[in-house]
Structure 1
Amino acid sequence: MSKGSTPVTKNEIVDVIIEDLTHEGAGVAKIDGYALFIPKALPGEQAKVKVIKTNKGYGFARLLEVTKRSEDRVDAPPCPIFDQCGGCQLQHLSYEGQLKQKQKQVRDVLERIGKITDVFIHPTLGMNDPWRYRNKAQVPFADREGGLIAGFYKERSHEIIDMDSCLIQHEENDKIVQAVREVASKLGIKGYNEERHQGTLRHVVARYGVNTGQLMVVLVTRSRELPNKKELIEAIQEKVPHVTSIVQNINTKRTNVIFGDETIVLAGEEYIYDTIGDVKFAISARSFYQVNPEQTKVLYDQALKYAGLTGAETVIDAYCGIGTISLFLAQQAKHVYGVEIVPEAISDAKRNAELNHMDNVDFAVGEAEKVIPWWYAQGIRADVIVVDPPRKGCDEALLDTILKMKPKRVVYVSCNPATLARDLRILEDGGYKTVEVQPVDMFPHTNHCEAVARIELL
């Protein structure tokens, strides 16, 4: 192969052996060391593929035929639009196969990125019934050939795949989305046109309190004006009588971001409530709240176990959000301090602490890497620090702060194994040891994997 060339060319049909899955759920094959990424192909399979794009170091191919199939392949994924919709990536892989793959994903990145090879990676904790688990649906609306459509985006596009039902959404979310579509269509309310920045209804967000039965519907509109507002509200209440809250969120910007800055309660309450274990939470239209409550309990129980609390410890929760983990920890800690950069989240966290009559928690707005040293200067000494950062991982300054404070234990709750591996390497170089990691499947049938790591000071 000459310098700068590739071993395959566009439109070439080749036979390959699938060696692995990417973090996006595509199969990986190698030809003379050159990686081909093939959606819907599974490890261990032999396949005939057509090359559709080549870059310098890797290419993409389309699966034409599986000539030797994986034992974990599901021939007929239950969702009729699985091949079009970008919401799920792994319905063609058995659930047992998904759990094994997610454990492997965590192990691989810890070894490759973190150079951590001597840590025990537990089998992934999955669900007994990995369907209908999401308590929140965010569904874009649009007009097509005169009719209102609602669905999820096609993978890597902004083309909406019209749908009536989503098998990973709770049935109550499906009901409310379809009710809004039917009512809005009858009332002539237009869906949003992203290219022209026209139309009224951008998204419908449905939130369901799985343990309380409370239901919120958020109508995200392009402008404050909502045609036939009174009739719309009454018709939604008639179709879904148990709806607790109907809210309008106004997003006037040309943006892919779902929510705007202004939210108005149209009917019912500003909040709905739900519980995780014994802790109750108030959820507003824009509150961050885990979308799989059953597995959230599993995840938080694991974090609590790794924290090793006896009732005498001071704990810092470095990315506390609306206080979900903080309040879980406060059940067994002497005192918990939570910090979060989003002011609205801290307001929610304080409200949730009051809701649960917990007076051994304090919350502060700010950057963790600035607030925690200030706490330290005030004489606060953390026995345990818990971090649950966004996908980009922990801020470097926060990791430096942890290394200076030297808590006995760090519990790292991760939604991105790659940044988990990077951050664990920094902590290990600073005098900590990663003892064990527990993957948790929060999002069955997707490529996302969460994990909890127990880290001890040497």
Structure 2
Amino acid sequence: MSYIVNRNDRLNVFVEDLTHDGSGVAKVDGYPLFIPGALPGEEVEIQVGKTLKKYGFARLVKITKASPDRVEPPCHVFSECGGCQMQHLSYEGQLVQKRKTVRDVIDRVGKLPHVPVHPVKGMKDPWRYRNKSQIPFAEQDGKVVSGFYRTRTHHIVDTDVCLIQSNEADDLMTALKMELHNMGVDAYDERTNLGMLRHLIVRKGRATGEIMVILVTRKKKFTQQDAVIELIKRVVPEVTSIMQNVNSEKTNVIFGDYTVPLYGKSFIVDSIGDINFEISARSFYQINPEQTEVLYGQALEYAQLTGNESVIDAYCGIGTISLFLAQKAKEVYGVEIVPEAIADAKRNAELNNIDNAFFEAGPAEVVIPNWYAEGKRFDVLVVDPPRKGCDEELLNTILEYKPKRVVYVSCNPGTLARDLRILEDGGYRTQEIQPVDMFPHSSHVECVALLEREMSN
């Protein structure tokens, strides 16, 4: 007779695995229980919380036998904050677990157990790597707080330090929190849609040291604006750009539509490898530039360019991968549905004096057939889609026009596995997959996959 798990049961269990969000997984007669804070290989005592038909959730009560990879999290709000999920696991253990995550989903969803999944490429120093911080401010219990949201809530865990963001972001977060009330500036209250400062955003160019500070406010005009600007300049003398974004809506979306410069330039410059990029307040730019160079270097290696190839970069964004590829390709054509990103991509090509990269706004599944109709032919196609993976129409376009080689850059192993299966069924063969750790101490892992078309197809 199978054991029935009930709410408030106290059980001793063995933790078998981790979920995608870093919770331990134990099974009681085949019934999975998700346990935040537990690690694979551990024997733990738990108290069952919510139970659903196919799985349940439990609270970690006591660790009876700890994993040898368990470490003391250096962040004092790790157990409350939702920013990191794996600080209690050694960095070497994180890399092993992330490879296992990719391996499992490639086997289960992609049905590709024969495809090599290489060890994850990690960082030598996996701290202070974020070049962009988005820090909410609020009034809680009569005081200004700032920090990061508790998991699956909009309650801010108040803190002065985040070990994965820049020191400058820490300094500004703390200084503004201390001085806002003295200046007569209120933090935002999302329940009432009152207050002024909603978010502090800090962007830093790793290669150049340039810093942009963005104040997201509820109104365009706010009290002591000049004093706030001077405070920022005093706390972070390296600041080269201070911007204001206005968001008056009652929403949890960070940015509004109106952005204006308050001090300095309206962009900062950073570089990945030999390519420079202008980054504006709302530009998409990879969060971890050191590992972005590793990721794009892997994509370039898989593209196997000799200087004679024509390449498509689907989901090209502001041209980051396109311009990397253009250094080795005959020509690169980038397509992206967001017109503003295409404008940035064209400007970045000019900034780097690259004249063999061409960009067009529109859906990839529409633009790419138009290019073929114009007589263009392509040897390699690179995709770097959002977490939802490639649109079905784009996958059909790839299968219809059959570029010899596809390089798939993915931020979601689950949708990567799904799309690889579709491309495999259409005549491509996945050669290998290289995971890259872009977000140490989180459960996220990025991958680059190489596919080649069978010559008979």
The bucket for the TM-score relative to the shorter chain is: over 0.9
Q: How does 1:196-207 map to 2 (within 5 A)?
A: 196-207=192-203
Matched, 1:426 2:422: yes
Task: Give the equivalent residue in structure 2 for 1:387.
Answer: 383
Q: How does 1:16-35 map to 2 (within 5 A)?
A: 16-35=13-32
Please give the per-residue CA displacement for 1:63-108, whole angstroms capped at 9, x wherever unaligned: 011111111111x210011011000000011100100011010110
The question of whether the paired residues in 2 share the 8 Å contact of 1:14 and 1:50 is answered with: yes
The question of whether the paired residues in 2 share the 8 Å contact of 1:183 and 1:236 is answered with: no
Task: Name the amino acid aligned to 2:188.
Answer: Y
**Matches of 2:369 and 2:177, distance apart in 1:** 50
Task: Give the equivalent residue in structure 2 for 1:117.
Answer: 113
**Matches of 1:179 and 1:382, distance apart in 2:** 53
Task: Give the equivalent residue in structure 1 for 2:255.
Answer: 259
Task: Give the equivalent residue in structure 2 for 1:406.
Answer: 402
Instruction: Name the SS for the 1:168 alignment partner.
Output: coil
Shift, 1:117, TM fit: 1.0
Task: Give the equivalent residue in structure 2 for 1:67.
Answer: 64
Shift, 1:347, TM fit: 1.0
Q: 1:321 aligns with which of 317, 322, 344?
A: 317
Structure 2 unpaired stretches of 5+: none
Task: Give the equivalent residue in structure 2 for 1:231.
Answer: 227
Q: 1:86 aligns with which of 64, 82, 91?
A: 82
**Matches of 2:318 and 2:61, distance apart in 1:** 47
Shift, 1:184, TM fit: 2.4
Q: How does 1:151-170 map to 2 (within 5 A)?
A: 151-170=147-166
The question of whether the paired residues in 2 share the 8 Å contact of 1:179 and 1:240 is answered with: no
**Matches of 1:376 and 1:185, distance apart in 2:** 60
Instruction: Name the SS for the 1:37 alignment partner.
Output: strand
Please give the per-residue CA displacement for 1:405-453, whole angstroms capped at 9, x wherever unaligned: 1111000000000000000000000000000000000000000010000
The question of whether the paired residues in 2 share the 8 Å contact of 1:233 and 1:246 is answered with: yes
Task: Give the equivalent residue in structure 2 for 1:9.
Answer: 6
Shift, 1:374, TM fit: 0.7
Please give the per-residue CA displacement for 1:317-356, whole angstroms capped at 9, x wherever unaligned: 0000010000000010000000111111111111100100
**Matches of 1:7 and 1:435, distance apart in 2:** 44
Task: Give the equivalent residue in structure 2 for 1:246.
Answer: 242
Task: Name the amino acid aligned to 1:116.
Answer: L
Task: Name the amino acid aligned to 2:288.
Answer: N
Instruction: Name the SS for the 2:239 alignment partner.
Output: coil
Shift, 1:55, TM fit: 0.3
Task: Give the equivalent residue in structure 1 for 2:412.
Answer: 416
Instruction: Name the SS for the 1:266 alignment partner.
Output: strand
Please give the per-residue CA displacement for 1:120-141, whole angstroms capped at 9, x wherever unaligned: 0000000001111001000000
Task: Name the amino acid aligned to 1:368.
Answer: A
Task: Name the amino acid aligned to 1:67.
Answer: T
Shift, 1:298, TM fit: 0.3
**Matches of 1:215 and 1:454, distance apart in 2:** 36
Q: How does 1:296-311 map to 2 (within 5 A)?
A: 296-311=292-307
Q: 2:99 aligns with which of 83, 98, 103?
A: 103
**Matches of 1:120 and 1:180, distance apart in 2:** 49
The question of whether the paired residues in 2 share the 8 Å contact of 1:249 and 1:263 is answered with: yes
Shift, 1:148, TM fit: 1.5
Q: 1:44 aligns with which of 41, 44, 62?
A: 41
The question of whether the paired residues in 1 share the 8 Å contact of 2:168 and 2:236 is answered with: no
Q: 1:128 aligns with which of 121, 124, 141?
A: 124
**Matches of 1:412 and 1:275, distance apart in 2:** 23
Shift, 1:175, TM fit: 2.1
The question of whether the paired residues in 2 share the 8 Å contact of 1:132 and 1:169 is answered with: yes
The question of whether the paired residues in 1 share the 8 Å contact of 2:313 and 2:381 is answered with: yes
**Matches of 1:268 and 1:180, distance apart in 2:** 20
Instruction: Name the SS for the 1:165 alignment partner.
Output: coil
**Matches of 2:253 and 2:324, distance apart in 1:** 30
Q: 1:57 aligns with which of 46, 50, 54?
A: 54
How much is the aligned-residue C-alpha RMSD, in angstroms?
1.0
**Matches of 1:66 and 1:261, distance apart in 2:** 49
The question of whether the paired residues in 2 share the 8 Å contact of 1:9 and 1:54 is answered with: yes
User: TM-score scaled to structure 2, two decimals?
Assistant: 0.98
Instruction: Name the SS for the 2:399 alignment partner.
Output: helix
User: TM-score scaled to structure 1, two decimals?
Assistant: 0.98
Instruction: Name the SS for the 2:261 alignment partner.
Output: strand
Task: Name the amino acid aligned to 2:206.
Answer: V
Task: Give the equivalent residue in structure 2 for 1:439.
Answer: 435
**Matches of 2:353 and 2:173, distance apart in 1:** 35
**Matches of 1:344 and 1:247, distance apart in 2:** 18
Shift, 1:266, TM fit: 0.6
Task: Give the equivalent residue in structure 2 for 1:139.
Answer: 135
Instruction: Name the SS for the 2:145 alignment partner.
Output: strand
Task: Give the equivalent residue in structure 1 for 2:369.
Answer: 373
Task: Give the equivalent residue in structure 1 for 2:354.
Answer: 358
Range with greater deviation from structure 2 (228-237 or 273-282): 228-237
Shift, 1:259, TM fit: 0.6
Task: Name the amino acid aligned to 1:141.
Answer: F
